[in-house]
Structure 1
Amino acid sequence: MIRIGIVEDDAGAIERLLSHLDRFQRAHGEKFHVGAFHDGADVIADYRPDWDVLFFDVQMPRVDGMTAARRIREVDSEVIMVFVTSSPHYAVSGYEVDALSYLLKPVSYASFEQEMTRVLTRIRRRPRRELLFTATDGAHHRIGVDDIRYIESVRHRIDLHTLDTTFSIATTVKAMEAELADCGFMRCHSGLLVNLRHVTGIEGSDCRIRGGGRLPISRPRKREFLAALAEHIGSRGISA
């Protein structure tokens, strides 16, 4: 699933972009995961490079969009950046952070649709690791590995949890761990394999997972799990 972030301090502008995204999904048969940040400071706080697209307002009270974009570009060379502004002269500055383009406020749907088409074309040119499998109901599936939040052992099968659905597969956590060995997954418990890119925090003996919920970290695995998580995000962390 394509992950889109809106960095904007104006509630009306956020609603306009959300409306355009909803219309685009319905018109083009797409499905997006969308998040909103109300200031540049919010998006760079604990930033992790797991967004596909970021729409930046330029002028925001605490950290402006251009400054936030520069900070993010230091640790994320892949995310597509689009500036949304009422001032065309900011477009020149966008080249500093390899922005795809800019949209002028108020953003019309026609302009937005054209830009999103360009964005999706660029995204789909990237190499994407996918997992092909047959679920226990006999249906065949192909999903992006990055979309998997965690894998859970349930009796004689595993449940594979993405942001919006769960698949049951007749295999083991051990087998999935071997298949996804180079993809940033780590066991937090004997029956749980977690995609580290979806861990949003640690609370006591639990880890928080994007999309809601917590998973237990067993005592024997805690040190190794925390070390792997630190290595995964270490040099990528950004402080406001």
Structure 2
Amino acid sequence: MINLAIVEDEDSYAQQLTEFIQKFQEESGNYFKVTRFSDGDEITNGYKGQFDIILMDIEMKLMDGMTAAEEIRRLDQEVVIMFITNMTNYAIRGYQVDALDYVLKPVSYFAFSQKLDRAISRIRKSDSKIISVEMPSGVKKLDIDNIFYIESEGHNLNFYTSAGEFSVRARMADFEQQLSEYNFFRSNKGYLVNLKYVDGVENGACIIAGKQLLISRSRKSDFMNALTDYMVGL
């Protein structure tokens, strides 16, 4: 099931796109759950990262599609965004939000079906392992391979990733369980580390991204065994 959003303020175009999707579904065997939004602010308000593909009109009354796409990209790096427009001068700004393509009005089924097929291919090519992290502003999708380590600090968790650092209010135990099958190991009470990024072990600590993260004495043997198993399996 592919979750697809149509963000279009004109009912006639929204209906046409819905009919095209139904036709494409019958021809391709792909199944869609389609959700319609009438303006950019509707989809961004409480966005939960639930969509695989977003068809976004650019010109809308309250929040234009480009602004909505920028807000969505802050939370969701994976969703495929395709703009619906009768103007091609948005191409440069489209690259800034990693838009896959443009559907030009008036929309023809043949062109639309080709672009939709391309969007589905992008979804299937991505073999990234994604987790969702609850943020005050919504849900952030995070590629597991980009996480260096997670640090527990009071009631907060600090995520150290290749894209930077951020903090959320959460329990370490929740993420330890989610990430255990992806070569993450609890080196001590305060750190959950990605074994992929361990550059070495010295003085009772593992080195990740130039930082020394303490390995507790009680976990040292298990940590070294887990690291060895990971390296052997590469």
Q: Relative contact order: is structure 1 or structure 2 higher (C-alpha 8 Å, sep ≥ 6)?
A: 1
Q: How does 1:198-237 map to 2 (within 5 A)?
A: none
Query: C-alpha distance in 2, partners of 1:33/1:128?
Result: 22
| TM-score normalized by the length of structure 2 | 0.55
Residue in 1 that maps onto 2:66? 66
SS in 1 for 2:87: coil
Tell me which amino acid in the other structure corresponds to 1:20.
Answer: F
Residue in 1 that maps onto 2:18? 18
Query: C-alpha distance in 1, partners of 2:94/2:58?
Result: 10
Tell me which amino acid in the other structure corresponds to 1:94.
Answer: G
SS in 2 for 1:124: helix
How many residues are matched? 134
> How far is the alpha carbon of 1:126 from its aligned partner?
1.9
Query: C-alpha distance in 2, partners of 1:39/1:117?
Result: 25
Flag structure 2 segments of 5+ consecutive residues without an equivalent.
130-176, 180-234
SS in 1 for 2:54: strand
SS in 2 for 1:17: helix
Structure 1 stretches (4+) deviating beyond 6 angstroms?
A: none
The reply to whether residue 77 of structure 1 matches residue 73 of structure 2 is no
Structure 1 pair 128–23 and aligned structure 2 pair: CA distance change class (3 A): farther
The reply to whether residue 182 of structure 1 matches residue 178 of structure 2 is yes
Residue in 2 that maps onto 1:86? 86
Query: C-alpha distance in 2, partners of 1:16/1:93?
Result: 26
Alignment deviations for residues 198-217 of structure 1 (CA, whole Å, 9 cap, x no partner): xxxxxxxxxxxxxxxxxxxx
Residue in 2 that maps onto 1:193? none
Tell me which amino acid in the other structure corresponds to 2:74.
Answer: E
Flag structure 1 segments of 5+ consecutive residues without an equivalent.
130-180, 184-240
Query: C-alpha distance in 2, partners of 1:41/1:120?
Result: 25
> How far is the alpha carbon of 1:125 from its aligned partner?
1.1
Residue in 1 that maps onto 2:40? 40
Residue in 2 that maps onto 1:211? none
Residue in 1 that maps onto 2:119? 119
Query: C-alpha distance in 2, partners of 1:105/1:80?
Result: 19
> How far is the alpha carbon of 1:128 from its aligned partner?
7.1
> How far is the alpha carbon of 1:34 from its aligned partner?
0.6
Residue in 1 that maps onto 2:99? 99
Query: C-alpha distance in 2, partners of 1:118/1:52?
Result: 13
SS in 2 for 1:59: coil
> How far is the alpha carbon of 1:115 from its aligned partner?
0.3
Query: C-alpha distance in 1, partners of 2:45/2:91?
Result: 25
Tell me which amino acid in the other structure corresponds to 1:24.
Answer: F
Percent identity, please.
Answer: 40
> How far is the alpha carbon of 1:127 from its aligned partner?
2.4
Alignment deviations for residues 57-107 of structure 1 (CA, whole Å, 9 cap, x no partner): 001000000000000001100000000001111122111100001010011
Q: Mark the structure with the bigger radius of gyration.
A: 2
Tell me which amino acid in the other structure corresponds to 2:82.
Answer: V
Tell me which amino acid in the other structure corresponds to 1:43.
Answer: I
Q: How does 1:149-168 map to 2 (within 5 A)?
A: none
Query: C-alpha distance in 1, partners of 2:58/2:120?
Result: 23
Query: C-alpha distance in 2, partners of 1:182/1:106?
Result: 45
Tell me which amino acid in the other structure corresponds to 1:114.
Answer: Q
Query: C-alpha distance in 2, partners of 1:105/1:90?
Result: 14
Query: C-alpha distance in 1, partners of 2:90/2:128?
Result: 32
Alignment deviations for residues 8-37 of structure 1 (CA, whole Å, 9 cap, x no partner): 100001001001100000001111111010
The reply to whether residue 54 of structure 1 matches residue 54 of structure 2 is yes
